[in-house]
Structure 1
């Protein structure tokens, strides 16, 4: 009889916990291998989640009898690889990592994502309701669950404890206080900029989103573009002005690797970005900086603190797979409470509420960061970019507005009006 994913997990944990991993079970105990002889292909992006799941795969394979063939690609190659495979109607990969908010609509509308609603709700012990509401909402397209969340992230504020203390400043709790603190801490004589964040045209969009939501705006209102509203103008202006006045001169060329490294090297006092990259901000090669990195909730705007709270990566199944049940068995195991706990202990934020409620589930994170996680994990906004099929073009359209501010344009209304018309054209074309 086929054992559930949870049962397989428990067996895996028992073996993992024995120290040397030696399997001393009898033949009778290992006879029930529901997928013996089957091989599934798992295509992944380049992410610490993959490094955490790999050591656990041998026990899963031993328990199920299946083999998992892992193929890894860098993030910029992954979408291209998947698109080529799916366009050719390939049966592989069986399971793959994807970014729900970047590829979800495109992949689902093209028939490249197997709806997982029935799978996820099949067994009570899988506990589908344990996933945070926002992680599930990020993964839904046209009312269908297109993938299972594996990694979540929220926008937070990173700050230098020592610099704020020396300046007699409290941790900024509002966007207004953030701007004031950035000005006070901007000290080029000592090589410290007041603020850093993503300034590249497309990458900045996900980060400016939290400013936008906190001011009461959004990228769209229903099927109407909304990036030229007063709320949007205020948010884009604030973000761009922070970078223009208090950010590095090459901020316009920075995505998260450059911005996080800049902060980690002690060159900036304040930084807003995803909590999932916190390790990048605490570089042990820079003593005096890493131990002074603080974490705080995203600062509030006119409508309060409304950061994005999203599924950044999920696992999906190819509708053309010849091994859908085996593929689901893998997904069920990889996203179970037990495996989520093991992965989260490596400092990778997972989507299960129960894991966050366990002391062991938060052991891999700094205590201050855990408190921020818990404040946001069930709130915030379930998207960090325009929810369109052509996400790349939409992001470029939004990013242009903010970059105009960064490079010194005083009045961005005209630019925003043009960009809004361009975004509306994207939405209208997709609605045809």
Structure 2
């Protein structure tokens, strides 16, 4: 795919496609202009995350504005600031922003229940060239609720295994295929006397939940069964125990205070044999300016547990439309353009995994990634679970409850008792959410 050759064609195609949908029931059609731009004179406000995706979109925005005639005001915020800003706007029934970025795995249920997102099913069908079926099934499942499409996935996170190629080769250890293999290899390579550890990962109570989810899923467990908490089932406890044991027995001191930045930094310093984490932060371990082991980092599909390999594959951040937006067709035109194949390819080449299958199938979509990482991501997109936190409104509270299981196990407490207590606490959160 040659972006330069196709950019002009794509712009003309975009303008033609959007002209078909330029009129909606809640707005008058834009007045025809000499250039027949479908949204001439209209202005769109978009709230986004401070992120590489936003930088890429801003760089291409003049082309979109030229093709459509609209002006797009992209306002970028830090994650916490964005969440606060959206809450203020929506609780006051504001028409702004027209389009916004959000995290389906954290916000979907709350935003849907509060009516803060417009349903998108009809929009994705309007232009066959958009090829909505090209998005990975797991990503669409993650952005759908009650059978209704509420988001368009922008980029994804896949949970994979990072490992030291040179250390495994030196010790004649194959890449772990099962969680039992991983534990055995971590035990063999663990050498704290030399400041080298068998495994590193998130240990902070709230942060660790996304990581331990893949261990729980792969042992046949889950956070919930229907509307009942299920973190104390035998299957779930096995997953929690494996993760807790890896951190406690083969991890560095201070693990309880680690989220991904600290764990990734330790791995990049060459102090751990294995690291389980989302693929999207891989450059933290391979960047020559950050990593001492940049040439010796390997990537693999997450090892299988009793129930097989079931790592998470989520839609990390997605685009949604404000149901009170005045210019819904203009809003959709931006969303369609921002998530088309050309833009997904552009952002994916910058190191952020996209959600379109066709982009992963082309050389241009994978050549900027380490080959083994690209293969691990592609496989995880096929087998992955579409969430990595409890599917409730009060996600933060639920993460604290669930994460306590691992923390208590690492501190030497009985894990069954910890899981039973967490299950009671989690069920109380579920029940409380029903009243919201």
1:424 to 405, 422, 427: 427
CA distance in 2, matches of 1:413, 1:216: 17
Aligned to 1:148: 152
1:415 to 415, 418, 425: 418
CA contact (8 A) 1:244 1:408 kept: no
SS in 2 for 1:194: strand
CA distance in 1, matches of 2:12, 2:58: 13
Aligned residues: 413
CA distance in 2, matches of 1:416, 1:335: 41
Aligned to 1:367: 371
CA distance in 1, matches of 2:59, 2:428: 47
User: Alpha-carbon deviation of 1:214?
Assistant: 0.3
Aligned to 1:380: 384
Deviations 1:126-174 (A, max 9, x none): 1111111000000012221111000111110000001111121111111
CA distance in 1, matches of 2:339, 2:359: 12
2:91 to 87, 90, 95: 87
Aligned to 1:11: 11
CA distance in 1, matches of 2:95, 2:203: 39
CA contact (8 A) 2:285 2:297 kept: yes
Aligned to 1:254: 258
The alignment's C-alpha RMSD in Å is 2.0
Deviations 1:325-380 (A, max 9, x none): 11110000011112111221212111111111111111221111111112121221
Q: Which runs of 5+ in 1 are unaligned?
A: 1-5, 15-27
SS in 2 for 1:235: helix
User: Alpha-carbon deviation of 1:305?
Assistant: 0.5
Question: Which structure 2 residues correspond to residues 23-422 of structure 1 after superposition, within 5 A?
Answer: 31-285=35-289, 289-409=293-413, 411-422=414-425
CA contact (8 A) 1:9 1:339 kept: no
CA contact (8 A) 2:398 2:429 kept: yes
Q: Which runs of 5+ in 2 are unaligned?
A: 1-5, 15-31
CA distance in 1, matches of 2:58, 2:248: 43
TM-score, scaled relative to structure 2: 0.91
Deviations 1:100-145 (A, max 9, x none): 0101110110010111111112221111111110000000122211
SS in 1 for 2:199: coil
User: Alpha-carbon deviation of 1:190?
Assistant: 2.7
Judging changes above 3 Å, is the alpha-carbon distance between structure 1 residues 377 and 287 closer, same or farther for their aligned structure 2 residues?
Answer: closer
TM-score, scaled relative to structure 1: 0.92
CA distance in 2, matches of 1:372, 1:236: 23
CA distance in 1, matches of 2:291, 2:98: 45
CA contact (8 A) 2:284 2:290 kept: no
CA distance in 1, matches of 2:55, 2:92: 29
User: Alpha-carbon deviation of 1:283?
Assistant: 3.0
Judging changes above 3 Å, is the alpha-carbon distance between structure 1 residues 77 and 226 closer, same or farther for their aligned structure 2 residues?
Answer: same
CA distance in 2, matches of 1:89, 1:8: 38
